[in-house]
Chains A and B, each alone.
Chain A
Amino acid sequence: MITRPAHEMAAAMDSGEITSVELTQAHLDRISEVDAQVHAFLHVDTEGALAQARAVDDARARGEKVGPLAGVPLALKDVIVQNGIPTTAGSKILEGWRPPYDATVVTKMKNAGIVILGKTNMDEFAMGSSTENSAYGPTHNPWDLTRIPGGSGGGSSASLAAFQAPLAIGTDTGGSIRQPAAVTGTVGVKPTYGGVSRYGLIAFSSSLDQAGPCARTVLDAALLHEVIAGHDVHDATSIDAPVPQVVHAARNGDVKGMKIGVVKELNGDGYQAGVRSRFEESLELLAKAGAEIVEVSCPNFEYALAAYYLIAPSECSSNLARFDAMRYGIRIGDADGASAESVMNLTREVGFGREVKRRIILGTYALSSGYFDAYYGSAQKVRTLIMQDFNNAFTHADVLVSPTCPTTAFKIGEKANDPLAMYLNDIATIPVNMAGIGGMSLPCGLAPEDGLPVGFQVMAPAMQDQRMYSVGAALEASLLTQWGAPLLSQIPALAVAK
């Protein structure tokens, strides 16, 4: 049962084949059996999850109408607050903190009867592409435990691939949902900016951050997307418009007559051979399904990475000023006579990890007078150019596609001491965040040279998220016909600890 898609689990509960308590317990058992190796979770809320499951079972038993994912377990990225549940954002500075409120996405999931199993590991404050920047140790990719599961949401993606949860929530600032999905053979969606509330999402880069669904199938992601999306008065940047019809699109998977634009600049040199070949084969399948494949050019995308590593650190240096050891989190050096400033300085030195400090300092530099125009100001202009490239490309195509990442999962430790090499992982995912549009990654096969998953990225204009689901579902269906079973059926079995 735990290897099945979330919507099948829900159907099994509707038909009385299984209860939510049984399903939740099966996932909790799986977590205790394999998480010593995977390390996807920072906290498992056994009692809370079972209590939620019992409530859903009771509601079903009473004949109440429940939502399409009621009783299905989910793994929550530790950057999203849940009332009373330890939340660290992967940082030592928040060790032991229990938030006094629920994020809007958590409230919506609770209302939908989704069972939250626990909090997943991540790069500290979502800064990274490997989860190696977590203060609590890295997560391991279930496809090969010596490799990274992506980042920053590596715990969420790994929990799906390890069958510890059928659904997860991620957040995506420069690819933190899509890149982990790509390297673990799972599905991850970054909705249009403003499509899902950021209330209760610990901010990294506010103009780029977006929470979204992670799952093992496109339809499951769509069902979760509809649960968490929508306008929220607690988030002034949330879009006050109807949620795109993503479930409808995922059920139909119709691409007949759709124009799919291949972004010339997000392919070719620097992309692994197996990534390119799987991507090309997927294009052929989409053409067979009735789509028209065209090539588009986005010449300014080559500057996106540079602009991102100015904009995101600048916003982060401002956002992370709130961790000042005064109202929550750890406090270091609070001895008699110590000044607030010295306590702040010591706490931030001890509480923040290397990459977070690196980005705070970089952002502080980029925003300082005398350098502002040259760095942050120029990066904002590049942002304009990237949006223009997208607008232009979307006049030639309904959606744009590319490989999600240049390579498959790399080894843990391989890039840990080379920040620039690490940043290059996000070269194909960052433009989407800069423009605030939607992006999806879904598995399109294994690279022949290393047998590891390859991700296929679909990008759609703002508030046209349903188009990604149409393309994703069409490609998923074609690939399933070709493979005969989902990609994850090929994942090596993990040793089970009893």
Chain B
Amino acid sequence: MSTLSRSDVAHLARLARIDMTDPELDSLASELDVILEAVARVQEVATDDILPTSHPLPLRNVARPDVVTPSLSPKDALSGAPASEDQRFRVPQILGEEA
């Protein structure tokens, strides 16, 4: 029985911004079926009366005084950029054709 079709995986790949090939989608679909069947076991014990845990520690918000401290220079911050221009990250076109 197949839970995930190739088009399901293609949809997930689009959501995850990965341009997968058809052979990749096919093999992933069958692998994910096996994995999902195994991990679905969590549903056997996850009853309504159990509270979920998202984190091992009780999380609280952490704040500090708003004091200016040394930080990366623009040069360092841009040092790993695939492309930069005028102290900014240069990125491909984000919106449609020129407005």
Taking the closest CB of chain A, its distance from the CB of B72, in whole angstroms, is 6
Contact present for A349 and B20 (CB under 8 Å): yes
Contact present for B94 and A380 (CB under 8 Å): no
Considering the chains assembled together, what is the distance between the CA atoms of A435 and B56 in angstroms? 6
- Chain B residues near A329 (CB-CB < 8 A): 80, 82
Contact present for A357 and B28 (CB under 8 Å): yes
A279 CB–B CB distance under 8 Å: no
Contact present for A349 and B18 (CB under 8 Å): yes
Contact present for A375 and B39 (CB under 8 Å): yes
A387 CB–B CB distance under 8 Å: yes
A194 CB–B CB distance under 8 Å: yes
Contact present for A340 and B93 (CB under 8 Å): yes
A406-438 interface with B by 8 A CB criterion: 419-420, 434-437
- Chain B residues near A358 (CB-CB < 8 A): 28, 31-32, 35
Considering the chains assembled together, what is the distance between the CA atoms of A317 and B36 in angstroms? 16
Contact present for B80 and A327 (CB under 8 Å): yes
Contact present for A377 and B18 (CB under 8 Å): no
Taking the closest CB of chain B, its distance from the CB of A493, in whole angstroms, is 40
A47 CB–B CB distance under 8 Å: no
A30 CB–B CB distance under 8 Å: no
- Chain B residues near A483 (CB-CB < 8 A): none
Contact present for B24 and A334 (CB under 8 Å): no
Identify the closest chain A residue to B77 (Cβ). A100
**How many residues of chain A are within 8 Å of chain B by beta carbon?**
69
- Chain A residues near B76 (CB-CB < 8 A): 100-101
Contact present for A237 and B59 (CB under 8 Å): yes
Taking the closest CB of chain B, its distance from the CB of A304, in whole angstroms, is 10
A64 CB–B CB distance under 8 Å: no
Considering the chains assembled together, what is the distance between the CA atoms of A236 and B9 in angstroms? 35
Contact present for A303 and B44 (CB under 8 Å): yes
Considering the chains assembled together, what is the distance between the CA atoms of A335 and B35 in angstroms? 38
Q: Could you tell me the dominant secondary structure of chain A's interface residues?
A: helix
Identify the closest chain B residue to A343 (Cβ). B92
Considering the chains assembled together, what is the distance between the CA atoms of A492 and B41 in angstroms? 43
Interface string of A368-406 (1 = CB under 8 A from B): 100000110111111111010000000000000000000
A34 CB–B CB distance under 8 Å: no
- Chain B residues near A321 (CB-CB < 8 A): 17
Contact present for B28 and A361 (CB under 8 Å): yes
- Chain A residues near B16 (CB-CB < 8 A): 317, 348, 360-361, 364
Considering the chains assembled together, what is the distance between the CA atoms of A226 and B52 in angstroms? 33
- Identify which of A317, A328, A368 gathers the most chain B CB atoms within 10 Å of its CB: A328
Q: Could you tell me the dominant secondary structure of chain B's interface residues?
A: loop
- Chain A residues near B18 (CB-CB < 8 A): 345, 348-349, 352, 357, 360-361
Interface string of B5-23 (1 = CB under 8 A from A): 0000100110111111100
Contact present for A309 and B38 (CB under 8 Å): yes
- Identify which of B40, B57, B92 gathers the most chain A CB atoms within 10 Å of its CB: B92
- Chain B residues near A375 (CB-CB < 8 A): 39-40, 42
B87 CB–A CB distance under 8 Å: no
**If the complex has contacts A327-B89, A348-B19, A375-B39, are A419 and B53 also in contact, measured as CB distance less than 8 A?**
no
Contact present for A364 and B91 (CB under 8 Å): no
B54 CB–A CB distance under 8 Å: yes
- Chain A residues near B82 (CB-CB < 8 A): 325-326, 328-331, 334
Considering the chains assembled together, what is the distance between the CA atoms of A100 and B73 in angstroms? 10
Chain A interface residues (CB < 8 Å from chain B): 97-101, 193-194, 207, 233, 236-237, 239, 300, 303, 306-307, 309-310, 317, 321, 324-331, 334, 337-346, 348-349, 352, 357-358, 360-362, 364-365, 368, 374-375, 377-385, 387, 419-420, 434-437, 462
A-B contact pairs, 30 of them (CB 8 A): A98-B79, A100-B77, A101-B76, A193-B57, A207-B55, A303-B42, A306-B39, A329-B80, A334-B82, A334-B83, A341-B17, A342-B19, A344-B17, A345-B17, A345-B19, A348-B19, A349-B19, A358-B35, A361-B13, A361-B18, A362-B36, A365-B12, A368-B15, A380-B52, A381-B42, A383-B53, A420-B38, A436-B56, A436-B57, A437-B56
- Given known contacts A326-B81, A384-B50, what 15 new A-B pairs fall within 8 Å (CB)? A97-B80, A100-B72, A207-B56, A339-B93, A348-B17, A357-B24, A358-B35, A361-B28, A365-B4, A375-B39, A379-B46, A382-B46, A384-B53, A420-B34, A436-B55
